[in-house]
Structure 1
Amino acid sequence: MLLINKHGAPNSLISNVKRLRAGEKTNSGSRQVQYRNLDPDVKHDIDAALIIEQGGLCAYCMSRISSETMHIEHYHAQHAGADDDDELSVRYDNMLAVCSGGEGNPRPQQTCDKHRGNEPLTVDPRREDHIRSITYKSDGTISSLNSDINKDLNVTLNLNMRQLKNDRAAALDTLKKQLLSHGSKKFIDMCRYYAQRYESQQKKTEYVGILLDYLHRKLQRQ
């Protein structure tokens, strides 16, 4: 999981929400300001903005996503704001882009928002302190010293599902081979190079969280 720095909402979303609000005023009680009522072009703009914002990775598992494969995840469930915040479903700061989460598979093979459903989360990829609490093992296991966050990773989001663990471990093994190919004398220099490279990427490397965790731990020992 990576830190997501939220940007401003697309202008088309702001304009569309204003029009929906105006419609509500003329038709009291109609509750038009909902994600499902946004124009198709606006939803497309949201998808594109989220993909750029997240470097083309799922907000939870860090697998590759595209406009064709992604889904919109409302961090706070859309219906959670029915009484306190009627516009929760159209707030851009509440939106994340996620993968298909194994949709259609048996529940043990589902991940991310598909496995979560409407369960509340403690872990928030928009919070740096939460991301800093997350660590990885060489076998691809993701965990946190924070017990609530650890439960989210393991249970609610099912991010230690076997295939995901294997994919993360494979990405780490590839990095290790690349580092060793430059020789042991240049190992730390190459760790620094790859860390800077991954941190500056606009389109991020798949499962880059485990890669940065490994590199930073190596660099901290110097």
Structure 2
Amino acid sequence: MRYIKKSGTEPEDLQKYKRDCRRASPPLKITYKDMPKDGSRKQLAVDQGYICAYCMRRVCLDSENKEQYINIEHIVPQNQLTDEEATNFSNFIGVCSGGRDKKDNARKTCDAYRGALSEEQQIMQLNPLNEAQMETIRYRPTGEIYSTDKVLSHQLSEKLNLNGESTYLKENRATAYQNLLKVLKREKVQGKWSKTLLKNMWDVFCKPNETGAYREYVGVYEYWLKHWMHK
């Protein structure tokens, strides 16, 4: 998980929908169910570099790709909002499928796992739009994600299942760490990595490609490179 800086402007199709509803005679109810979602999906994908806001797996705009098609997640759950509040773009982030078609909740992640919890359990403080919170996120070489804040650390696992043994996320993050380590050790013996080398690796692993897409699990690369640069 990493900090997401969202575009400030609501997508044009959502603005038009709200405007048309308010201008209708009589005015029409503004609801999440009826609102257009293509513009929001596209803007979220671009803002996030085509990775899930929670687990950092790849997301895309191809609705035929059920595994990677971007879903809209409400940070404050819909059940806590009015119909119109549920259309507030500032409350949206883009997430992966999270295995929502799986029967076993232990194999679900992200909003699919959160959505299977009770309404009360779905409420959480954890928010990838909160920069201060995201600065507390850490990764272990084993792939475990945690926070220096105990409440947030608990929610990473208990609300989103990002460390679930049946999800392969820990293994994938550990693989990302090992891949980075392998490339660095090919260049220099560990302990002799200059800041110049680490900054060059940042350009390789942490910058988006020509389409604006980040590598999957980019937060792992960012965390460890920052960690080594500040040693």
Q: Deviation string for 1:125-178 (max 9, x for gaps)?
A: 001111001101001000012121111101110100230000111111111111
Matched with 1:93 is 90
Aligned with 1:37: secondary structure? coil
Matched with 2:20 is 19
User: Shift of the alpha carbon at 1:187?
Assistant: 5.2
Matched letter for residue 95 of structure 1: F
**Matches for 1:32-43 after TM superposition, within 5 Å:** 32-39=29-36, 43=37
Q: Does 1:166 align with 2:136?
A: no
Is residue 206–residue 218 contact of structure 2 (8 Å, CA) maintained in 1? no
Q: Does 1:208 align with 2:218?
A: yes
Distance 1:187 1:169, change over 3 A: farther
Aligned with 2:33: secondary structure? helix
Matched with 1:194 is 201
For 1:54 and 1:99, how far apart are their aligned partners in 2?
Answer: 12
User: Shift of the alpha carbon at 1:22?
Assistant: 3.0
Matched letter for residue 101 of structure 1: G
For 2:197 and 2:172, how far apart are their aligned partners in 1?
Answer: 23
Aligned with 1:35: secondary structure? coil
Matched with 1:66 is 60
**Matches for 1:175-190 after TM superposition, within 5 Å:** 175-184=180-189, 185=192, 188-190=195-197
User: Shift of the alpha carbon at 1:196?
Assistant: 4.2
Q: More helix per residue: 1 or 2?
A: 1
User: Shift of the alpha carbon at 1:183?
Assistant: 2.4
Matched with 2:99 is 102
Distance 1:211 1:199, change over 3 A: closer
For 2:218 and 2:80, how far apart are their aligned partners in 1?
Answer: 32
Q: Does 1:140 align with 2:147?
A: no
**Residues matched between the structures, number:** 211
User: Shift of the alpha carbon at 1:38?
Assistant: 1.6
Matched with 2:48 is 54
Is residue 180–residue 187 contact of structure 1 (8 Å, CA) maintained in 2? no
User: Shift of the alpha carbon at 1:194?
Assistant: 2.1
Aligned with 1:46: secondary structure? helix
For 2:205 and 2:18, how far apart are their aligned partners in 1?
Answer: 36
Distance 1:186 1:216, change over 3 A: closer
Matched with 1:76 is 76
For 2:87 and 2:198, how far apart are their aligned partners in 1?
Answer: 41
For 1:161 and 1:187, how far apart are their aligned partners in 2?
Answer: 35
For 2:193 and 2:111, how far apart are their aligned partners in 1?
Answer: 41
CA RMSD of aligned residues (A): 1.7
For 2:193 and 2:109, how far apart are their aligned partners in 1?
Answer: 38
Q: Percent same amino acid among aligned pairs?
A: 28
For 2:194 and 2:141, how far apart are their aligned partners in 1?
Answer: 18
User: Shift of the alpha carbon at 1:198?
Assistant: 4.5
Matched with 1:114 is 112
Matched letter for residue 33 of structure 1: I
User: Shift of the alpha carbon at 1:21?
Assistant: 2.6
TM (norm. structure 1) is 0.89
Matched letter for residue 156 of structure 1: K
Matched letter for residue 132 of structure 1: E
For 2:205 and 2:130, how far apart are their aligned partners in 1?
Answer: 19
